[in-house]
Structures are given as structure tokens and as C-alpha cells.
Amino acid sequence: MPLPKPITRLVVLLPALLLGLATGLARGQGVIPVGTLPRIVVFKPGAYQLANGGWQPGQLFLEATGQLRVRQPDSKVATTYGPGEVTAFVLEADTFGVVRGVALTARRRLSAVFAQRLYHYGQMTAYKLDYRFVNTGASLATYGPGGSDLVVQPATGDAVIVPAGRGSFTQAMLPLVGSCPALADQIAKGKLGRQHTRQILQTYARWQQTTAEAATN
């Protein structure tokens, strides 16, 4: 059966089109800048908590700029929220919260940013800060594509990035948990490091509870 005329024309023209494309690329032409490609936004079901404490269901998308876009399933209009306007949200199996006052470098500081919640003990919460979703003002060469940091957020005050090096780890963690004598001693001696962060927060929470109970007796 003969092909329809539009398809026949396409078949005839296709070799010429491909040849023209190849020629243009060979001459450095026909290269499409990345910025001109359409951006794909995929909303996924989840829930978000507004600053007033109310949880609401919605379709969510976390922007690379660190903003959260929310829309209702029956709507194509999305509302954009920043950290602080939304205090927490659940996206698929992950829970995100807000970390505050993150010092990336001596000159670069994030006042508030969304981060994935990992675990919580007592008055401290550990987060994974994913730089793919942080508008740091720096290029990916600074942090690497998909680079991340472990961050501890106390109930009050600024969050602290947990470094891997012994000296920097000691300097970062002692102000957080150094009031517990056992932890202060082990951290200072290098017996506890970044890989023990969860254990450290558990121990500190138990020590705080025991100390508070002893004070009331």
C-alpha cells in the first residue's frame, strides 16, 4: 500500500535534512545552547507544612534555586514558597526541613535552605544538604555535581556543617555537644568522628535527659 503523501515527502527529504545537520555541526553551527532547551518540571505527590503549622497535600517540585513549587492536582497554576514560608515538606519517601544560618565559607552564608531530614534526637536534627537544590551563587565546580554535606541543626541557633577532618570536626562539634564531659573527651582525643555523628547525637540527647531529671530530683 502506498504511503500517504506527507510521509512520502518526509522520507524523501530526511537524507537531505540529516546531511545539512551534520554539515552545520562540522562547521560549529547548529549547536543548541543548553539554556534554550525546554525545562522539564515533574510534580510529584506530597505534603507541605506552612509557617502557621498546617499541613496540606499537593503536587510538589523542588527547584534548583532552592524554592518549592506547589500546585493542586486539578490545577496547572503553581505557587512558589521559600524556606520559612514552608517549614517542612514530604516528597515521596523523603522528609525535608529548613536549616538556618549555614556558613558555606567565611564569606558565603545561607540564611535558610531546605534540606533532607535524616534523624532527630533530643534538640538536634541531622540533615543532608544537597547542593543541587541550593542557590549558593557558586558554580558546580565549587561543590561538584550533586555534592552534599551532613548538617546538624540545633533547636535554636545556626546549623553546623559536619566536616570530615579531625581538627575541623572537633572545632565544629565541641560547641554543640561539648557540655557532655564524655563526648567532649572522646571528640578531643579523636575517638569520635563524622561517621559517629548519629551516635554522638543519641548520646548527647540521653545525657541531656539524665541531667534534667537529676536536677528535678
- pLDDT tens for 50-103 read 998 889 999 999 998 899 999 998 888 999 999 989 999 999 899 999 999 999
Global model pTM greater than 0.85? no
Type and span of the H or E element at 143: helix 140-143
Judge contact between 200 and 188, C-beta under 8 A. Answer: no
| Mean pLDDT, rounded, for 116-137 | 90
Distance in angstroms (rounded) separating the CA atoms of residues 184 and 120: 20
Cβ contacts of residue 120 below 8 Å, gap of 6+? 126
Q: What is the pLDDT of residue 29?
A: 41
Residue 74's pLDDT is what?
A: 87
Q: Measured between alpha carbons, how far is residue 212 from residues 176, 199, 208 in Å?
A: 17, 20, 6
Residue 99 has φ and ψ, to the nearest 5°, of -105, 145
Q: pLDDT averaged over the chain? A: 83
Strands (E), 21-83: 44-50, 55-62, 68-71, 79-81
**CB of 107 within 8 A of CB of 114?**
no
Determine the average pLDDT of the residues in 181-204.
98
